Amino acid sequence: MVGILAADADFMIHSLTKLKVLGQEVYLTTTHVSLLIVCIGLIVFAAVVRAKLKDTDGKPGGLQNAVELIVEMLDGMVKSSMGSKSAVKYRNYIGSLFLFLLISNISGLLGLRPPTADYGVTFPLGIITFVLIQYNNIKWNKFGAVTELFKPFPFLFPINLIGELAAPFSISLRLFGNVVSGTVIMALIYGLLSKIAFLWPGVLHAYFDIFSGAIQTYVFCMLTMVWITQKIPEDV
């Protein structure tokens, strides 16, 4: 009986249709659909806000006040972590990343499978962070980006190198693991306790989707900012 109920717990990525692109078979999955919905939602929100800001007539409305509050919070977060000079360069990216991750992580409330519950989504984000880290490392430290791998002792080079290369894996696996674990737990609850799973699962959704989703968004963005800032000299 338990085995039958467990079979109803669906937390896997499913293929929806098969397409042929340049002679190759490409599968459209639930991750692609969820990712597309999240991106369209953010684009529509940005378009609506832009249109509203043009028609304010000098009197800010509720939407403008809410958007300004969000922008000020994100701008303050970036400045406090990266400093005023670096914040100017990275606040747009960090702000966009924060909103994308937050909406993706809480999209389970809308019945979607969170895009960030797919490692194929979180790993590219980790790679972007890694590229930004190494870009700043080479830009500001020049050849020191290589020599620092041999400090404090040359025989520590392999460990230091692994530490540098591990960044995209650690940051992406942390986000993926936390989001997918919440997805699996909620799927098991609905699959195993479907007959009594009403009202009270909302408390778990509040934790796994809202609280945990917001925390993981903050952690991912914070680590990105800290790691980039570590490669920028303090006197810059």
pLDDT digits (tens, 9 = 90+) for 50-71: 888 777 666 777 788 888 899 9
- For residue 222, being part of any structural domain is answered with yes
The Cα–Cα gap between 27 and 16 comes to 7
For residue 236, is it within any domain?
A: no
45 assigned to some structural domain: yes
- Mean local confidence (pLDDT), 181-202: 70
Give per-residue pLDDT as tens, 142-184: 998 899 999 888 999 999 999 999 999 999 999 999 999 888 8
Number of domains in the chain: 1
Query: Per-residue pLDDT tens for 68-116?
Result: 899 999 999 999 999 888 888 999 999 999 999 999 999 888 888 899 9
The domain in which residue 79 lies consists of: 2-230
pLDDT of residue 201: 62
Task: Say if 235 falls within a structural domain.
Answer: no
Tell whether 96 is covered by a domain: yes
Kindly state whether residue 173 falls inside one of the protein's structural domains.
yes
Q: Please give the model's pTM, rounded to 2 decimal places.
A: 0.86
Average pLDDT over residues 41-46: 94
Distance CA 7, CA 103 (A): 29
Task: Name the burial class of residue 235, with classes exposed (0-12), middle (13-18) and buried (19+) by CB atoms within 10 angstroms of its CB.
Answer: exposed
